[in-house]
A and B are shown apart, each in its own frame.
Chain A
Amino acid sequence: GEDVEQSLFLSVREGDSSVINCTYTDSSSTYLYWYKQEPGAGLQLLTYIFSNMDMKQDQRLTVLLNKKDKHLSLRIADTQTGDSAIYFCAEIPAGMDSSYKLIFGSGTRLLVRP
């Protein structure tokens, strides 16, 4: 079955880069997503990548997709204290074409130290 795995915790110093990693099992996934959950709030879509792409860059965010290894990463450049949050990786399994069957990872808690 589908499974999405992430490490639970990452701590970085303000101004450094953060790299949050995710592995998934469904090699036919169409879209892969990163969601951000700030304290006391719901999840917000941060960015996504289509499965035929290797990389996507959006300002301080870089998403890398290695389909061979089924590995997805989110790099945040110049990490700020406001980036402290839980980051969820999510995939739409093969055969699905909408959000209704998103599979979420367990989330990585990013702590940015001043």
Chain B
Amino acid sequence: EAQVTQNPRYLITVTGKKLTVTCSQNMNHEYMSWYRQDPGLGLRQIYYSMNVEVTDKGDVPEGYKVSRKEKRNFPLILESPSPNQTSLYFCASSSLRGELFFGEGSRLTVL
């Protein structure tokens, strides 16, 4: 089954404690992206990657890092989380001209 898998789905952490949200896709897609969803703001792009070792900033990259060492994986790293990073995070992937497939989301709370 074609899917985008994110982990963890839910996480409560404290300010400053590094965390990583993993994302994996099994469709051999070149493109992967991270979004955050906040009430009234829709989806905002954090980072995206066009292929292995190719990443670029989206609209709200501050406080986040990403890496793309393998085609299937695109982890999102919060080196020092802060309360304003409390949000619902989505990973997505697509072929370069294709439909965007989304993971089920990771709800992060930073206390």
Contacts and interface: CB of A to CB of B under 8 A. Distances in A.
Note whether A and B form a binding pair: yes
Interface of A: 4, 8, 40-45, 88, 97-102, 104-107
B interface SS class: strand
Closest 3 pairs between A and B when the two form their complex, measured CB to CB? A42-B102, A106-B42, A104-B43
B40 A42 contact: no
Interface stretch (B61-69, B79-87, B91-99): B91-99
Interface residues of B, number: 24
Given A44-B102, A98-B97, 20 more contacts: A4-B42, A42-B4, A42-B92, A42-B102, A42-B103, A88-B43, A97-B97, A98-B31, A98-B94, A98-B96, A99-B31, A99-B92, A99-B94, A99-B97, A99-B99, A100-B33, A100-B48, A100-B96, A104-B42, A104-B43
B54 to A, nearest CB: 11
A98 B50 CA distance: 10
Contacts of A8: 40
Contacts of A45: 99-100
Nearest to A4: B42
B105 interface: yes
Interface string B45-62: 100101000000000000
Contacts of B48: 100
B104 A42 contact: yes
Contacts of A41: 104-105
A88 B37 CA distance: 12
B89 to A, nearest CB: 10
